[in-house]
Amino acid sequence: MARRTKVYEGKAKILYEGPEPGTLVQYFKDDATAHNAAKHAVIDGKGVLNNRLSEFFMSGLNAIGVPTHFIRRINMREQLIRAAELIPVEVVVRNVAAGSMCKRLGLEEGAALPRPIVEFYYKDDALGDPLVSEEHIIAFGWATQQDLDDMVALALRVNDFMTGVMLGVGIKLVDFKIEIGRVWEGDFQRLIVADEISPDSCRLWDMRTGRKLDKDVFRRDLGDLAEAYTEVARRLGVMPSNATYLGKPTLIN
């Protein structure tokens, strides 16, 4: 049997060549990393949960006309996606002050923001993904002004959709990160949401108790990450209610 071709391996996912040109297979690993990979563990079932959750969010976005790379789920850990040329910028949308914004600006975690704030971070692990402005992005040719306008519009539509979906299950969407890629349709370029949308890339707080249901559980040693992600999946109805992934994390460093 022929071995499939690995195109890219990241911290939490692997990309393989897809069955047709312009497609890839995205495989979700159980690895969790934080603080620029200084902390690394393998958490049983995380990849299965994120595959399902990313499918849920991306197919919901596709259904309301927000284009994403998601085509269909293949199995427990893999999904078929459109190949896109990723813009080397992480787009973060914040509704509530948390994480690096609090450190940078001296804000109290949990403070409501006057409106959703869109930020850009240059994707470079060696530099620790620094915050950059639109000026940097245009001057260094990472994206055009038109791309940026489209990226902000896409990010805010994702925010509206995700905020509403999470509100419906009693969870506050504090902030999230998306990646955006280019695809070509004839002579026209289109920007689509790529990578993943999962509790690895969002901050999700239970509205009643404030319990964190996202990767901060791992970053800050707040308990069982798989259990928190299972709770999100259970509330959204994307996993059978008896499915739990409570394997003990294997700490690597």
Token digits for 221?
Answer: 């040693």
Q: How many residues are listed for the chain in this entry? A: 253
Nearest to 68 by CA among 170, 177, 159, 154: 154
Binding letters toward ligand TMP, positions 121-160, x by CB under 6 A: --------x-------------------------------
Phi, then psi, of 63 in degrees rounded to 5: -65, -25
For residues 18 and 93, which CB has a smaller minimum distance to ligand TMP in the complex? 93
Q: Is 159 helix (H, G, I), strand (E, B) or coil?
A: helix
Among 87, 202, 225, 226, binds ligand TMP (CB under 6 A): 202
Count the site residues for ligand TMP by CB under 6 A.
Answer: 13
Token digits for 207?
Answer: 């509205």
| Sole residue written with tokens 């969010």 | 57
Question: Segment near ligand TMP (CB under 6 A), from 6-14, 53-61, 139-147, 175-183?
Answer: 175-183
For residues 87 and 101, which CB has a smaller minimum distance to ligand TMP in the complex? 101
206 binds ligand TMP (CB under 6 A): no
92 binds ligand TMP (CB under 6 A): yes
For residues 48 and 202, which CB has a smaller minimum distance to ligand TMP in the complex? 202
Distances in Å between the alpha carbon of 153 and those of 68, 75, 130?
A: 14, 32, 22
Token digits for 208?
Answer: 């009643």
Q: Where does this chain bind ligand TMP (CB under 6 A)?
A: 90, 92, 98-101, 129, 175-177, 201-203
